[in-house]
Chains A and B, each alone.
Chain A
Amino acid sequence: MKLLALMKKEFARFFGDPKLLVTMIIPGLLIYVIYSIMGSAMFGGEEVKYDFRVYLSGESQVVEIIDDALADSGWTAEFLTLPAEGAQTVEEALDRVNSGEADALLVFSDGFDDAIAGTGTATVPTAELMYDSQSEASAAFASLAGNILDSYGRTFELTMNDFAESADIMRTTMAGILPFLIVIFVFSACMSVTLESVAGEKERGTLATILVTSARRTDIALGKVLPLACVSLIGAASSFLGVVLSLPTLMGISVDVAVAGISAVGYIMLLLNIISIVPLIVAAIATVSTLSRTVKEASGYTSVIMIIMMVLSIVASFVSGIGDWVVALPILNAVVAMQGVLSGATVLWQCLAAFAINLFYTALLILLIARLLSSERVMFGK
């Protein structure tokens, strides 16, 4: 009976507070909505029309299967059997793939089809697919052709050679992952110091003591956000350095190689973007903290913000070709700008615009906090 009473009390505490309940349900809803939007953006948007140029050395029926599969995807391909126009030998064909003039080279061993049918020589037939993953078209062809060859169901040796430089791959990977990780670490750093900033003071009764002084509400809001942003920046910088220095090692490439493709301006832009998202995140969490009656409530709402931040930052990693309008969106603008820097293609105006716009949003949130501090319902509502 005692256990039942204790459990009942806990359930009553939870289900009796609609706000707590909402904070549990909202993340799931958000994940559904945002992931659906992401899915539409990734797969439901305008289809890319590829017209591949592929060199062939040797012959196989599998080429026809690949061609049919390409047609099913709405793509076309020109298969050029060596010697062909522009490439007489395998070496020349490789040069074309490397230079981006062709998308792939497929090399089949002599008598490939006979060998896998068991009617040819005793040696193991081989197929080699050479491509450049830095090229979207080449990567798309390799993905489709590789899958078909893999599932061909006959015994042969398949080799796939990616010509992309390991440093390029590293940079592409870093560009995709790092902004996401930076946002997560920055958010964690901000959350740990900001969460209880206002809600905690409300709970302890120390905020009202400040509110009865003649300090302006905007000063109180600024006095909260700025120092917390500075403290968070230290935590964020530490996390950022940790990620930047460990990721190359994690991926098997030296730090020197990984950072070589980023210019000094790029590093400054990277820093500027981190500096701009820290106060923005601090201000967003402080706003939530101001709206909350308790730290527990603030914690629930902050987890919702965290999901939004994570999704926004990961969207940029999956959706390519986001338009310039992205600079108007807080956080996402910095993620896209950081991706540009990390992939070695710093877009200066985008970085500076993201910096300015994020600080603008921060200023708006500070004004909002100041208004909330003046709100009787928010500050003293039960």
Chain B
Amino acid sequence: METQLPAEDEEVVRAENLRKTFTLSRKQQRLERTSFARKVAVDGLSFAAQRGEIYGLLGPNGAGKTTTLRILSTLIRPDTGDAYVCGHSVTREPQKVRDAIGFMTSELKLESFFTPSYLFDFFGAMHGVEKETLAQRKQDLFARFGIDRFAEVKVRDLSTGMLQKVSLVVSIVHDPAVVIFDEPTNGLDVLTAKVVTDFLLELKRMGKSILLSTHIFSLVEKLCDRVGIIIDGKMAADGKLKDVCGEMSIEERFFEIYRTVRGEEA
């Protein structure tokens, strides 16, 4: 099922005052040295990502990036607030949101028993893609990313780089308007990381809108048109990369903001 692309300059993702809390077990409370039974992961987060751009959510570990992306991908629900993907509410129309997005995270895995070809067809069916369209997309994407030679090799026998490519291709099997990517290069070797960054730039060239989370400054500088800096679940800065950074590098700007927000050195 091909999703209708929004008009140019249109907001494809809009988060409005998102708040998400989690219950802490006694053990977690001890580890976090707190007596509070609930932890605020995302605290009134609002931002917008435009069509055809790459938006990066930048922040340290535990800032709320993954929680935000999970809310946007409808895996979890916000306590309050709402978010819209291609105009569909993540809380009220999760089915339509799932049709519009491709979600990639290292936590989502593919069954190692199956082949890339089978999994592409399976996830195509899950998204309701028509057979002819699916066959054509498989041919195009497998050829473009060099998967065609490994199409019938079981996933468990693929190299890490090839597996990553397969995961990426499977996540966009339904030609989504928006691709959400949680920590795209986390834990990858340099070769596989390049596969991923090249893939994201390729998607951008294809007119896709991309939302990614990262704590790697160079990745933001290399890929992102806009950036949102999250600290302690709150949006500390948000806008076009050059507007947020000014004359500074993203790394310098991040630590300046961090000191301002936290009142301490990182």
Least Cβ–Cβ distance between B42 and chain A, in angstroms:
14
Q: Are the CB atoms of A212 and B108 closer together than 8 Å?
A: yes
Q: Which residues of B contact A380 (CB under 8 A)?
A: 70, 75-76
CB distance from A159 to the nearest CB of B (A): 65
Complex: chain B residue closest to A379, CB-CB: B75
A211 to B70, CA, bound (A): 11
Complex interface bits, B58-96 against A, C-beta within 8 A gives 1, otherwise 0: 000000000000100111110000000000000000011
Residue in chain A with minimal CB distance to B119: A209
A319 within 8 A of B: no
Check if A204 sits within 8 Å of B99, measured CB to CB. Answer: no
Q: Which among B76, B108, B174 has the highest number of chain A CB atoms within 10 Å? A: B108
**In the complex, what residues of A have CB within 8 A of residue B103's CB?**
212
Given contacts A211-B75, A214-B99, A214-B127, 10 further A-B contacts (CB under 8 A): A204-B109, A209-B109, A213-B98, A214-B95, A214-B96, A214-B126, A376-B76, A376-B77, A380-B70, A380-B75
Whether a CB of chain B sits under 8 angstroms from the CB of A364 is no
Distance between Cα atoms of A173 and B128 in the complex (Å): 54
Contact residues in B for A242 (Cβ distance below 8 Å) = none
Chain B contact residues: over half helix, strand or loop, or mixed? loop
Within 8 A of B (CB), among A353-382: 376, 379-380
What string of 1s and 0s marks CB contacts (under 8 Å) between B160-197 and chain A?
00000000001000100000000000000000000000
- Pick from B74, B77, B96, B109: contact of A212, CB under 8 Å: B74
Establish whether residues B75 and A212, one from each chain, have CB atoms under 8 Å apart when the complex forms.
yes
Chain A 190-221, CB-CB to B under 8 Å as 1, else 0, gives 00000000000000111011111111100000
> Is B107 positioned at the interface, with any CB of A under 8 Å from its CB?
yes
Report yes or no: B95 in contact with A216, Cβ–Cβ below 8 A: yes
Taking the closest CB of chain B, its distance from the CB of A17, in whole angstroms, is 11
Residue B111 interfacial (CB < 8 Å): yes
Q: Please measure, in the bound complex, the distance between the C-alpha atom of A211 and the C-alpha atom of B105, giving whole angstroms.
A: 13
Top 7 A-B residue pairs of the complex, sorted by shortest distance between their CB atoms? A205-B109, A213-B126, A214-B98, A209-B108, A212-B103, A214-B99, A376-B76
Q: In the complex, what distance in Å separates the CA atom of A151 from the CA atom of B110? A: 71
B123 on the interface (CB 8 Å rule)? yes
Q: Can you sample 21 A-B contacts with CB below 8 Å?
A: A205-B107, A205-B109, A206-B110, A206-B111, A208-B107, A209-B110, A209-B170, A211-B75, A212-B108, A213-B98, A213-B126, A214-B95, A214-B126, A214-B127, A214-B128, A376-B75, A376-B76, A379-B75, A380-B70, A380-B75, A380-B76
Chain A residues with CB below 8 A from B127, complex form: 213-215
CB of B111 within 8 A of CB of A204, answer: yes
Interface membership of chain B positions 1-17, coded 1 if the CB is closer than 8 angstroms to chain A and 0 otherwise:
10000000000000000
Interface of A toward B, CB cutoff 8 Å: 204-206, 208-216, 376, 379-380
B positions within 8 Å CB-CB of A: 1, 70, 73-77, 95-96, 98-99, 101, 103, 107-111, 123, 126-128, 170, 174
Report the bound CA distance from A218 to B15 in whole Å.
28
Q: Which of A210, A212, A376, A380 has the most CB of B within 10 A?
A: A212
- Distance (whole angstroms) from the CB of A215 to the closest CB of chain B: 5
**A206-B109 Cα distance, complex, nearest whole Å:** 5
Cβ of B123: which chain A residues have Cβ within 8 Å of it?
Answer: 209, 213
Q: Report which residue of B76, B98, B126 has the largest number of chain A beta carbons within 10 angstroms of its beta carbon.
A: B126
Nearest Cβ in chain A — how far from B65, in angstroms?
16
User: Does A208 contact B108, Cβ atoms closer than 8 Å?
Assistant: yes
Considering the chains assembled together, what is the distance between the CA atoms of A128 and B99 in angstroms? 83
Q: How far is the CA of A65 from the CA of B137 in the complex (A)?
A: 92
* CB <8 Å contact, B76 and A205: no
How many angstroms between the C-alpha atoms of A214 and B94 in the bound complex? Answer: 8
A212 cross-chain contacts in B, Cβ below 8 A: 73-75, 98, 101, 103, 108
User: Considering the chains assembled together, what is the distance between the CA atoms of A208 and B109 in angstroms?
Assistant: 8
CA distance A204 to B128 in the complex (A): 24
Complex: A321 Cα to B99 Cα, angstroms? 56
- Chain B residues within 8 Å of A214, by CB: 1, 95-96, 98-99, 126-128, 174
CA gap between A376 and B91 in the complex, in Å = 13
Residue of A nearest to B77 (CB): A376
A-chain residues with CB within 8 Å of residue B77 when the two chains form the complex = 376
Give the complex CA separation of A211 and B127 in angstroms. 11
Q: Which residue of B lies closest to A213 (CB)?
A: B126
Asked whether, in the complex, the Cβ of A215 is within 8 Å of the Cβ of B126, the reply is yes
Q: How far is the CA of A212 from the CA of B99 in the complex (A)?
A: 9
Residues of B within 8 A of A206 (CB): 108-111
The complex places the Cα of A380 from the Cα of B75 at a distance, in Å, of 9
Residue of B nearest to A204 (CB): B109
Chain B residue contacts of A210, Cβ below 8 A: 126
- Output the nearest chain A residue to B170 by Cβ-Cβ distance: A209
What are the residues of chain B within 8 A of A205 when measuring CB–CB? 107-109
B74: which A residues are within 8 A, CB to CB?
212
Give A214 to B74 CA distance when docked, in angstroms: 10
Give, as a whole number of angstroms, the nearest-CB distance from A86 to chain B: 75
Residues of A within 8 A of B174 (CB): 214
| Nearest CB of A to B32, in Å | 13
Given contacts A214-B98, A214-B99, contact A208 B75 (CB under 8 A): yes
Complex alpha-carbon distance, A284 and B107, angstroms = 27
CA distance A375 to B107 in the complex (A): 18
- Complex alpha-carbon distance, A210 and B103, angstroms: 11
CA–CA, A27 and B70, complex, Å: 38
Nearest B-chain residue to A208, judged by Cβ: B108
Quote the shortest CB–CB distance from A248 to chain B (angstroms): 42
